[in-house]
C-alpha cells in the first residue's frame, strides 16, 4: 500500500487537475455555443473527455520500455495513415478525415505526437560525439519532413507548420549546435518564395486578409472581424454566461471549434480569457518542471515535445482569433469541439504521466530493456 501511494504521489497532479478543469470549461463553453443545450456538442465533448481520461490512465499500465521500443512503429503507422488519407479520406476543400462509422478520424493530429516520439527515441540513442555532427540531424529532419509534406498536400498549411515547428522544438531541445540553427534559419528564409508560389489561392487570400481584413468585411475578412468585435464587446468582465450577442446570434463563425476562445472572452471578458491562459501556463510549467526531474533523455524530450505541442495549439489558436496571425483551423486544446485532437492531447498527457512514474530510469536501462 505504501508503495502504491508513493507511485500515485509521483504523478503530476497539477497537470491532471488543470486538464480536468479545462475539459469542464470546454463542456460549459460548448453548452453555451449550442444556445443552452447539451446537444450536439457538449454531451459528445463530455463523453470524449471521459474516454480520454481512460486512455490517459491506461498508458500508465504500459511499461515505459514498450513505449520506447514502439516509437518508430507508431511513427510508421502515422505515415501509413497519412498516405492512406489520399485514397480514402474526405473533407470540404481538403482531404483531412477518414470515416470510421460514427467517428471521423483526422490522422494529422496523432502524427504530431508520433513525430515527438520518433525524435525522442532517435536522439536518446545518440552519443555526445554524434550530436556534434551535422549528419546526425539528417534522419531527424526526415522524420519531421515526411509528415510535414504529407499534411501540406492535403492541403493543410496550419497543421503542417505545427508539425514542422513542433519537431524543430524537439531537435533544438536535443542539443543541436547553434551553428546549424543559423543554417536552418537561412534555408527557411530562402524557401519562403517557393512556399508562397505553391500555396493555393484560398491560402494566399487568408494571408493577404490578415494584413488588411477591412478589404472584404463580408467575405474573407468576416471571421476575424466578428472575432474582434466579440472580444472587444466582452470588456473586462464579459456579458455573462449565455449572454454573448455575437455568439448567441450566430455572427461568430465556428464558435464551437476555432473561435471558442472568442466566445469565452465575450461572455466572461478579459478576466475569463486570462484565467484560461493561466491554467494553460500551469500545465506548461508542470510538464517542463517534470522534464528537469526525469533522468533519461527519452523522457525529457517527450515532456519537452508534448509541452511544445500544447503550446503551439494554444498560441496558434489564440493568435488567430485575436488577429495576430492569419486564420487557420487549429482547435483550442481540451476546450474546442473535436474528437481526434482532444484524444491526442489526452494520450500525450498520458505519456507525460508515464515519464513521471519512470523518472528514475537511465538511458542505458531503456536500451537494455528493449532488446
Q: What is the pLDDT of residue 370?
A: 44
Burial of 34 (0-12, 13-18, 19+ CB in 10 A): middle
Question: What residues contact 266, with CB distance under 8 A and at least 6 apart?
Answer: 230, 231, 233, 234, 238, 239, 244, 245, 246, 247, 252
For residue 360, give the nearest of 284, 300, 308 by alpha carbon.
300
Task: Please indicate, yes or no, if residue 232 is contained in any of the structural domains.
Answer: yes
Task: Please indicate, yes or no, if residue 2 is contained in any of the structural domains.
Answer: no
242 and 35 in contact (C-beta within 8 Å)?
A: yes
Q: Which residue has the cell 498527457?
A: 349
Q: Which residue has the cell 491526442?
A: 344
CA atoms within 13 A on the CB side of 357: 21
Could you tell me how far CA 130 lies from the centroid of its own chain? 30
Q: What is the pLDDT of residue 371?
A: 45
Task: Please indicate, yes or no, if residue 9 is contained in any of the structural domains.
Answer: no
Task: Please indicate, yes or no, if residue 6 is contained in any of the structural domains.
Answer: no
Q: What is the pLDDT of residue 77?
A: 96
Is the dihedral angle over the CA atoms 181, 187, 190, 195 positive or is it negative?
negative
For residue 297, give the nearest of 160, 174, 193 by alpha carbon.
174
For residue 166, give the nearest of 344, 327, 368 by alpha carbon.
344
Please count the structural domains in the chain: 1
Q: Would you call 100 helix, strand, or coil by DSSP?
A: strand
Q: What is the pLDDT of residue 170?
A: 94
Task: Please indicate, yes or no, if residue 176 is contained in any of the structural domains.
Answer: yes
d(CA 48, CA 51) in angstroms, rounded, equals: 5
Q: Could you list the residue range(s) of the whole structural domain that residue 336 is in? A: 15-369
Task: Please indicate, yes or no, if residue 49 is contained in any of the structural domains.
Answer: yes
Kindly report the length of the chain: 371
* Region at 124 (left for phi over 0; alpha for psi -120 to 50; beta for the rest): alpha
d(CA 52, CA 342) in angstroms, rounded, equals: 8
Task: Please indicate, yes or no, if residue 24 is contained in any of the structural domains.
Answer: yes
Core vs surface per residue 97-124: b (16+ CB within 10 A) or e:
bbeeeeebbbbbbbbbbbbbbbbbbbbb
Q: What is the pLDDT of residue 187?
A: 79
Q: Would you call 34 helix, strand, or coil by DSSP?
A: coil
* Spans of the chain, pLDDT less than 70: 1-8, 10, 93, 209-220, 362-371
Which three cell numbers mark 21? 478543469
Task: Please indicate, yes or no, if residue 152 is contained in any of the structural domains.
Answer: yes
d(CA 273, CA 253) in angstroms, rounded, equals: 19
d(CA 204, CA 214) in angstroms, rounded, equals: 16
Amino acid at each position: 500500500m505504501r508503495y502504491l501511494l508513493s507511485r500515485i504521489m509521483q504523478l503530476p497532479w497539477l497537470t491532471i487537475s488543470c486538464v480536468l478543469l479545462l475539459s469542464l470549461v470546454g463542456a460549459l463553453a460548448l453548452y453555451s455555443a449550442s444556445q443552452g443545450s447539451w446537444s450536439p456538442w457538449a454531451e459528445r465533448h463530455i463523453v470524449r473527455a471521459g474516454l480520454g481520461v481512460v486512455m490517459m490512465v491506461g498508458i500508465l499500465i504500459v511499461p515505459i520500455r514498450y513505449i520506447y521500443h514502439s516509437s518508430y512503429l507508431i511513427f510508421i503507422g502515422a505515415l501509413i495513415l497519412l498516405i492512406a488519407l489520399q485514397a480514402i479520406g474526405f473533407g470540404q476543400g481538403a482531404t483531412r478525415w477518414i470515416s470510421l462509422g460514427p467517428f471521423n478520424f483526422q490522422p494529422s493530429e496523432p502524427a504530431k505526437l508520433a513525430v515527438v516520439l520518433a525524435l525522442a527515441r532517435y536522439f536518446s540513442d545518440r552519443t555526445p560525439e554524434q550530436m556534434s555532427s551535422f549528419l546526425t540531424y539528417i534522419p531527424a529532419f526526415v522524420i519531421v519532413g515526411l509528415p510535414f509534406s504529407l499534411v501540406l498536400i492535403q492541403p493543410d498549411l496550419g497543421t503542417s507548420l505545427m508539425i514542422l515547428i513542433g519537431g524543430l522544438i524537439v531537435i533544438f531541445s536535443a542539443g543541436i549546435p547553434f551553428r546549424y540553427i543559423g543554417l536552418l534559419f537561412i534555408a527557411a528564409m530562402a524557401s519562403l518564395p517557393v512556399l508562397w508560389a505553391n500555396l493555393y489561392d484560398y491560402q494566399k487570400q487568408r494571408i493577404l486578409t490578415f494584413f488588411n481584413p477591412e478589404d472584404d468585411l463580408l467575405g474573407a475578412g468576416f471571421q476575424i472581424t466578428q472575432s474582434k468585435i466579440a472580444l472587444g464587446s466582452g470588456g473586462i468582465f464579459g456579458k455573462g454566461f449565455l449572454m454573448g450577442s455575437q455568439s448567441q446570434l450566430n455572427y461568430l463563425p465556428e464558435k464551437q471549434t476555432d473561435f471558442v476562445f472568442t466566445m469565452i472572452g465575450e461572455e466572461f471578458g478579459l478576466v475569463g480569457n486570462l484565467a484560461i491562459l493561466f491554467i494553460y501556463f500551469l500545465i506548461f510549467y508542470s510538464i517542463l518542471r517534470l522534464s528537469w526531474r526525469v533522468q533519461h533523455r527519452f523522457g525529457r524530450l517527450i515532456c519537452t515535445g508534448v509541452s511544445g505541442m500544447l503550446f503551439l495549439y494554444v498560441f496558434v489558436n489564440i493568435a488567430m482569433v485575436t488577429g495576430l496571425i492569419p486564420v487557420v483551423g487549429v482547435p483550442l486544446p481540451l476546450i474546442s469541439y473535436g474528437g481526434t485532437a482532444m484524444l491526442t492531447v489526452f494520450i500525450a498527457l498520458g505519456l507525460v504521466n508515464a515519464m513521471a512514474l519512470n523518472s528514475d530510469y537511465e538511458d542505458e536501462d531503456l536500451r537494455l530493456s528493449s532488446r
